[in-house]
Chains A and B, each alone.
Chain A
Amino acid sequence: MARPSRTRTASARLLALATLALALAACGSQLEPGDVRVAGGPIAIDGPVTSADGAVPGASVPGAEPGAPVLPGSSDGGTTTAGGSTGRTGATGSAGDADGAGEPADTAENAPTGGAAAGSCDGFDNDQTGVTADTITLANSVDISGPVPGLFESAQQGMRAFVAYFNATEELCGHKLEVLALDSRSDAGADQQAYQRACDESFAAVGSQSAFDFGGAATAQSCGLPDLRAYSLTTDRRNCTTCYAAYGVRPGQVPNAMPQFWVKKEPDAVKHVAMLYVNAGAAPENASAFRKAWTANGWNIDIFQGIDVSEFNYAPYVQQMKDKGIEFVNYIGPYQFTVKLQQAMAQQGFAPKVFLQDATIYDAAYVEQAGELGNGVYVYSQTHLFDDFSIAEMELYRAWLSQVAPGAEPTAYGVYAWSAARLFVQEATKLGGKLNRKTLVAALSQVRDWTANGMHVPQAVGAKTTANCASIIRLDGGTWTKVSPGEFLCSSLSNLGS
């Protein structure tokens, strides 16, 4: 039955050796994904680099060497790159310099503290949790490890990018900001543990995001931890009284701007709509709410179908859409499944007039994987284009993102995490010496119309309501362009009840 133990020991040794050898080989033999990306991608690691689609912020980022503060009043020359619009990074202090026509103006609002009137620092309490004589610790908990590695890592990168930008030139009443980076491992239990650590070791949590954020909601509330998130994804987290999110969603509130846009643009196509969604996470709940709201706006949803996570054959669903004469397809789910659906559609020769999804696919990884299938795809987005450097804040985000995480791609999660970090700093600066957990939560509850200097749609952070604006962008040849008029389309909200 059992092999003689000597053979077994020998086999065990051999296997262990093989594993070790493989592991060592693997360590040395692979190119870093970052290197691969840099070889082909537009983001500079150091020094200015031109990109195919326009300018990239140049090397002269203020305080590019962390710890080399740039004195107020001085400004760094912008670098001109071949793309067209100039790279211009924010100067500290109140001076706004413009380099010429078409330049985005550096204004005080792009300064790390936002140019708002700082409260007096008298009476600053250094004995609070997460505060020392010269540092304030901010926790950030996102899903990094787990079944989908790096799921929301971009949110942590966005928050760290802003903190690096702030620390380069500013202090909060004599305090630098420190980041307590936590991993919620795509698990509610881990989220609870992360928030317990945040309660015990940090002053506030900023820019967090987790698919199972219900785990730590009660923990955050019970210790009064201000939790200014990038996104709140579950009802429990939204209901937590000390938790706010830069990206606001109230269940049962759906914006009407996007469906109204399509009723005008494609009045026939919206009468034959298919809504497909992945049977996971918040997708089914969201899909139900969207369906009600969009029907109320004049759409006709002929197919409303959930697709299992383990489904690998999308052809039957495509056939259903062909049978019903669908002209407008909306999908809710991760970009990998979007690609599968689009592949099946292409194979079956099914080409609807409109393929629309939310900003989940506004992601370089989707563009790469979809290839030609991505041409003509529409996205409704709540941020400006990541390459729109007419928005100085967007440029700052991109510049500092490449500082703290070279090779990292911008995403909507990163934008909102940066936004959350900026909001924290601005509110904390206004509070000055009165800053403590309670006053911060109270201040956050008053925030309305927050755009992070124009990076995204106005968010009523304090009211925790859904944003009522969006823009429609379209992908062609690997480039995204805005097709909706004006900055954003704004309209009313459908209130469907919870």
Chain B
Amino acid sequence: MSSFVSFTIFGLVSGAAYAIAASGLVLTYTTTRVFNIAHGAFGMVLAFVFWDFSERQGLPLWLSLVLVLLVVAPATGWFVSRFVTKGLGEAPVSVALVVTVGLFVGLIGLAQQIWPPEARFVPPFFAETSFQLGDTFVTAHQLITILSSIVVAVLLYLLLNRTRIGTAMRASVDNPELLKLFGGRPEQVASLSWAIGISLAALGGVLLVSVVGLDYYALTLLVINAYAAAMLGRLRSLPLTFVGAMGLGLLTSYASAYLPTEGLLNSVRNVVPALFLFAVIIILPQAQLRIGQVKGIVSAPLPSLGKAVGWGLALLAFVGLVAGSTSQANLLLVGTAATYAIVMLSLVLLTGYGGHVSLAQLTFAGVGALAYAKLDQPNLYGLVVSALIAAAVGGLVALPVLRLTGLYLALSTLAFASIMDKMIFQADFAFGFNGTLPAGRLSILGAPINGTGGYVFAMTVFLVLVAWGLLLLRRGVLGRMLIAMRDSPAACGTLGLDMRWFRVGLFAMSAGIAGLAGALFAGLRGTIGSADFQSFNSLPLLLLAVVFGVTSITGAVLGGTGLMLLPVLSSGDPQLGGLLFAIIGFGAVFAGRDPNGLANLLFRTGRVLERRVAPLVLGRIPDLPGRRRPAGAHDGSVEVPLSQLTTEPAEAAEPTEAPAPVEDKKEVGAHVATRG
């Protein structure tokens, strides 16, 4: 009996840590509608700052605490709310998530840059003191943690429900304009709530650092466990969040104590927070997050058929050239980039066209790779079946989350990925614990592809085929339905479109594409393991996909290359690695606002060049008989004013094609074509 009490006390200590983390998270969400995935990362950085003040610079403990909790943390929160997350609450979920994921990655890079890896240690508060409760010892530090969490919960509740500023906080998220009319200042309110939120993250970091250690990832990832607690309160109710946090802490403690130490049940212990999150999200009714907003995104232009074919063939030619000329080691890098590009294509379908954020694409790739390795059919049949298996898993995952949207959907995919990672992939019927499986190189219609160059070329062929497939889809009825669903689910509902099964199909298709990528990757690598598809890496995947452009194929290809290059560049110089992460992370914070990403910049540059340079170039090309060329360049941009649209199909004029001389066949009035 006494050990049950002991386990309960330990559970309360864990729960207190989760409660502090979750409270800050809920506060920022409740008042600004931004779910701060980087909450733990802030806590980690501020824990480092605390170490810097108290250990490296030797300031007194109380002074360090005051500086961190009352000066640095609130200042950081104010800065972030004014310059980084302003207006993010109104943005689509993908944008909001990506910005905070960008902060997440950037903060880790920043910490690595400012405090390079070495052994650091923060002692617990009152290290010598402990209290005995029966058989159990509770240290002073643990007691402080529990008391702090209770105090924080009570104070926050009072703040939000009993004070004017708290009421203003809650009002600003519902209707900032109305609040302004009443003399409130929503921006100041948002800054205040972020200041408090980041201070709470700092408090959590400072209390946990003596236990968890000054590790860039451990503190950051700990808070992900606290999402489950935040979800129990439906990101709104602080008391329920507190209860959820304590419940989660107790559950993990009892699981450690009473679950069997072997077999599949043993691995359940590792996924208790993820299971808790998944269960909470599915079982509890989803809080209404956004009502009746029409949120159209200006999409990246859709290339005409000719352009799509042209660029696809150009990419194939480029890769073919590279395959013939570069070293084998570099070819492996190209193959890796192709894999990531295909996975990002799946994100283009799901997030770019469909508007749903998934943090589990790499996991689906892992399912595809696992199926391919297990089937042991290194041919087109095996490839297709692996993709279908991944699609089936994607559909299965979509079923319980049918009614979820936006943030809830994203978090449920995160929970799913975590469960797959720690439990399913490790099971004996899958990769086995840290095990690996061999995977054969593909043979197409009986002809084996043995060389790496040939295999990478084949991967690129699949990439181009999938890209063309997506573009065809986009042009058709399905594509238009997707865009409609993304822009306004409410409007679709009033039109009688049943979106639920459509969504299952969408998820399945997206998972299938990712599975295809995984199977191809397995063939490239020859030996594949669960370590190659860690759920954590889906975050930078999403980040780079959105930064480079999740609405266009070009963005996916560039994003895949970028994701491949990231560790390669940072391995050359470890100091550079941190800086690179910081730049990309913080860069994503701004670039992520436009889901069309950097690819859109490229398109715009291309159009500008076409407008300015093409006539000059074309003017010098000699006349060739039989070619009629319309006056203006066109590319199907949606920015064309309505009055200039015609229904006349126009030819896709490539600058290199020999047109008729401009002065001869000039059309009166510009024929500017829309989508080809």
Residues of A within 8 A of B (CB): 1-3, 8, 11-12, 14-16, 19, 22-23, 26-27, 30, 33, 36, 144-147, 149-150, 183, 185, 187-190, 192-194, 196-197, 199-200, 212, 214-215, 217-219, 234-236, 279-282, 284-285, 303-306, 308, 310-313, 315-317, 319-320, 322-323, 336, 339-340, 343, 347-349, 365, 368-369
Known: A12-B590, A23-B113, A215-B527. A317 touches B139 (CB 8 A): no
Cβ–Cβ contact B10 & A313, under 8 A: yes
Q: List 16 A-B contacts (CB under 8 A).
A: A16-B586, A22-B110, A196-B452, A214-B527, A279-B267, A280-B434, A312-B14, A312-B17, A316-B6, A316-B11, A319-B3, A319-B136, A340-B213, A343-B211, A348-B136, A365-B119
B527 CB contacts on chain A under 8 angstroms: 188, 214-215, 217-218, 236
Shortest CB-to-CB span from B254 to chain A, Å, is: 8
Assembly CA distance A208 to B117 (angstroms):
22
Whether the Cβ atoms of B434 and A3 lie closer than 8 Å is no
A30, A285, A313, A365: the one within 8 Å of B14 (CB): A313
Is B90 in contact with chain A by the CB < 8 A criterion?
yes
CB atoms of B531 and A317 under 8 A apart: no
Q: Which residues of chain B in 96-118 are interfacial with respect to chain A, using CB atoms and an 8 Å cutoff?
A: 110, 112-118
Q: Are A236 and B436 in contact (CB under 8 A)?
A: yes
- Tell me if B6 and A312 are in contact (CB < 8 A): no
Residues of B within 8 A of A280 (CB): 434
Residues of A within 8 A of B575 (CB): 27
A27 and B113 CA atoms in complex are apart in Å by 8
**What 9 A-B pairs are tightest by C-beta distance, nearest first?**
A196-B329, A145-B571, A308-B270, A197-B329, A315-B10, A149-B117, A316-B256, A183-B571, A33-B118
- Tell me the complex Cα distance, A494–B230, Å: 50
- A145 and B570 form a contact (CB under 8 A): yes
Known: A144-B574, A190-B567, A323-B3. A285 touches B221 (CB 8 A): no
| Minimal beta-carbon separation of A166 from chain B (angstroms) | 27
A217 vs B187: C-alpha distance in the bound complex, in angstroms?
57
- Chain A residues with CB under 8 Å of B526's CB are 192, 218-219
Given contacts A1-B91, A310-B222, A313-B13, contact A189 B525 (CB under 8 A): yes
Which residues of B in the span 194-242 have a Cβ within 8 Å of any Cβ on A?
208, 211-213, 215, 217-218, 221-222, 225
Residues of A with C-beta under 8 A to B318 = none
> Which listed residue (B114, B117, B436, B571) contacts A26, Cβ 8 A?
B114
Of the residues A199, A323, A369, contact of B121 by C-beta under 8 Å: A369
Complex contacts, A217 vs chain B, CB 8 Å: 527
Residue of A nearest to B118 (CB): A33
Q: Name the A residues within 8 Å of B110 (CB-CB).
A: 19, 22
- A368→B136 CA distance, assembly (Å): 28
Enumerate B131-169 residues with CB–CB distance to A below 8 Å.
135-137, 139
Beta-carbon contact of A2 and B87 below 8 Å: yes
Does A285 contact B433, Cβ atoms closer than 8 Å?
A: yes
Tell me the dominant secondary structure on chain A's binding face.
helix
B269 within 8 A of A: yes
- On whether the beta carbons of A185 and B253 are closer than 8 Å, the reply is no
Q: Does B628 contact A (CB under 8 A)?
A: no
CB nearest to B113 among chain A residues: A26
Chain B residues in contact with chain A, CB under 8 A?
Answer: 3, 6-7, 10-11, 13-14, 17, 83-84, 86-87, 90-91, 110, 112-119, 121, 130, 135-137, 139, 208, 211-213, 215, 217-218, 221-222, 225, 252-253, 256-257, 261-262, 266-267, 269-270, 327-329, 332-333, 336, 422, 433-434, 436, 452, 525-527, 529, 531-532, 567, 570-571, 574-575, 577, 579, 582-583, 586, 589-590, 593
**A190 to B590 Cα, complex, angstroms:** 31
* Distance, CA A323 to CA B7, complexed state (A): 12
B436 CB contact (under 8 Å) in A149, A214, A310, A368: A214
B638, chain A: closest CB distance, angstroms: 17
Whole-angstrom distance between the alpha carbons of A196 and B593 in the complex? 40
Which of A14, A150, A336 touches B213 (beta carbons < 8 Å)? A336
Q: How far is the CA of A8 from the CA of B116 in the complex (A)?
A: 31
B170 to chain A minimum Cβ distance, whole angstroms, is 21
Q: Are B590 and A200 in contact (CB under 8 A)?
A: no
Contact partners of A189 in chain B: CB under 8 A: 332, 336, 525, 532
Establish whether residues B270 and A279, one from each chain, have CB atoms under 8 Å apart when the complex forms.
Answer: yes
A16–B83 alpha-carbon span in the complex (Å): 12
Do A215 and B256 touch (CB < 8 A)? no
| Residues of chain B with a CB closer than 8 A to A11's CB | 83, 590
- Contact between A336 and B215 (Cβ–Cβ < 8 Å)? yes
Task: Choose one: A1, A22, A36, A185; the contact of B571 (CB below 8 Å).
Answer: A185
CB distance from B165 to the nearest CB of A (A): 24
Q: A188-B525, A347-B137 are known contacts. Are A317 and B256 too (CB-CB below 8 A)?
A: yes
The residue from A19, A27, A190, A235 contacting B586, defined by CB atoms under 8 A apart: A19
Q: For the complex, what is the distance from the CA of A4 to the CA of B135, rounded to whole Å?
A: 62
Q: How far, in whole Å, are A33 and B575 apart by their CA atoms in the complex? A: 13
- For the complex formed, measure the closest distance between the CB of B248 and the CB atoms of chain A, giving whole angstroms: 12
Interface-centre pick from B3, B10, B91 (highest chain A CB count, 10 A): B10
Q: Known A15-B83, A147-B217, A282-B434; judge A368-B119 contact (CB<8 A).
A: yes
